[in-house]
Chain A
Amino acid sequence: MSELIAKERSIVIPGEALAEGMDYLPGQNTYREEEKIYSNVVGLLSLSGRAIKITPLSGPYVPKDGDKIIGRITDITMTSWRVNTGTAYSAMLNVRDATTRFVKNGEDLSKIFSIGEFIVTKITKVTSQKLIDLTMKSPDLYKVSGGRVIKINSQKVPRVIGKQGSMVSLIKNKTGCNITVGQNGFIWLKGEPKGELIAERAIKLIEQKSHQEGLTSKIETFLEEESKNN
């Protein structure tokens, strides 16, 4: 006799019993204790087959291999840069992975990236101790120049990007901004100052209303109204 205690698509809190019995399986962000399955996080419950999983509504960014993120240079060592990625763990960018060109011995590394600058970078490796290795060796990775960087909750990043990038391209089209979304919740906007402002507001709106239905059309009307007002 198995039974679902919490409703599907309802908001659950940590420690809440979700289901009883062995027919259900604990999926993402859940755990089993004896007969019952409990939640680990605050989030929306969803069922896929027999597995119960939770889409978290908040929480810190957990680094993963291959994630494209935006980070800020916080320190320069002899052969590497230390990068703040908005996580509790420190990230390193080695000189080897920073540029494709040859870097001479004793060259001033701050000429390449200096402290305080933002870079769009990719995670190559996360060790078991959660130390992060980064790379810049890819054509879609670059140093951020101009515009503005904003931060949102990293759990809302999929909402900002939308299905196959539909949301982000909508904002791009309406505001004329270049938008780069990092998986860690850092977003780089560059365009006309007015467009940047509207895009920033739209993204903050998505962050606020991320779990509501018909989000894309809501954002579309918001963008149209905003561009009319200016």
Chain B
Amino acid sequence: MIINKETIVELAGKDQRIDGRKLTEYRQPIKIETNISWTAEGSARVQIGETVVMAGVKLSLEKPYNDTPDQGGIMINAELLPLSSPEYEPGPPQIKAIELARVTDRGIREAKAIDMKKLCVLPGEKAWFVIIDIVTINDAGNLFDAANLAALTALKAARFPVVDPKTGAIDYKKKTEEPLPLLKEPLGVTVYKINGKLLVDPNIEEEHSYDARLTVAADEKGTISAMQKGGTQPLTVEEISQMVELALEKADFLRKQLDESLKK
């Protein structure tokens, strides 16, 4: 892979980018598809530019955790498939995959987006567990935003499977009309800092050239649920507030895209 870091840094200083976009412009096309997999209770495929990420939601009945006997739970797992980038290898998840899963997880979990108490079927005995799997199909940069968007879309598209009232067995082949009890719709947007300038939606070259990044997950009202800072350089207080502002603005933009594609 070729990374023209010097040119990217130099151009950022002049408010320009290597692919000719504005600093706060997302790549096109932004495509969001739902129900791409019939084996999952809810699924989504998100494309931002050339980056493609898929997410699937599986629901299963499990014994609740001992400290929260009246609640269900969520689990989020991300896999960076070797087919999506020459950098990724098969094997146990590496640091990048763990971070991607954790950031997506925290955005949804800490926003208390899913009504966990409604997931409980029988306190202390049975509750629904929401398992979200994120897989990257192509990594052309900005996996964080694509994964966040895919996870949220999959949650919105998910429908409970049919449960046999007598035996309690789940028939995964049939779905009910009942959606997940979503209270909020958290969405994370990552803002990158290169040469003192803030930008969103980096391509693969920019993702290898940044100084610092901040992922801000917030719900539709702008209540922040989680943040994650990355990169080697520090951030000032002013920069963080600017980044949060930019992230909230871009989250609104992505939410509109999501609503539009769900209408179709």
Contact = CB atoms under 8 A, between A and B. Distances in A.
A148 interface: yes
Contact of B7 (A72, A147, A151, A186): A147
Interface in A188-223: 193-194, 197
Given A149-B2, A150-B2, A151-B2, A197 B19 contact: yes
A71 to B, nearest CB: 11
Interface in B1-24: 2, 4, 6-7, 10-11, 14, 16, 18-20
Contacts of A72: 2
A186 B19 CA distance: 18
Contacts of A194: 20
A147 B11 CA distance: 10
Contacts of B7: 146-148
A197 B20 contact: yes
A214 B10 CA distance: 37
A138 to B, nearest CB: 24
Contacts of A150: 2
A146 B6 contact: yes
A155 to B, nearest CB: 18
Contacts of B6: 146
> Main SS of the interface on chain A?
strand
Contact of B11 (A149, A151, A186, A193): A193
Nearest to B18: A148
Contacts of B4: 147-149
Contacts of A197: 18-20
Contacts of B2: 72, 149-151, 186
Contacts of B19: 197
A193 B8 CA distance: 10
A2 B221 CA distance: 77
Nearest to B6: A146
A72 to B, nearest CB: 8
A72 B4 CA distance: 12
Interface in A47-68: none
Contacts of A193: 11, 14, 16, 18, 20
Contacts of B20: 193-194, 197
Interface in A122-152: 146-151
A149 B11 CA distance: 15
Contacts of B16: 193
B2 to A, nearest CB: 5
A194 B11 CA distance: 11
A185 to B, nearest CB: 11
A146 B6 CA distance: 7
Nearest to B3: A116
Contacts of A147: 4, 7
Contacts of B18: 148, 193, 197
A120 to B, nearest CB: 14
A72 B16 CA distance: 25
A218 to B, nearest CB: 21
B15 to A, nearest CB: 11
B11 to A, nearest CB: 6
Given A147-B4, A197-B19, 14 more contacts: A146-B6, A146-B7, A146-B10, A148-B4, A148-B7, A149-B2, A149-B4, A151-B2, A186-B2, A193-B11, A193-B14, A193-B20, A197-B18, A197-B20
14 contacts: A72-B2, A146-B6, A148-B4, A148-B7, A148-B18, A149-B2, A150-B2, A186-B2, A193-B11, A193-B16, A193-B18, A194-B20, A197-B18, A197-B20
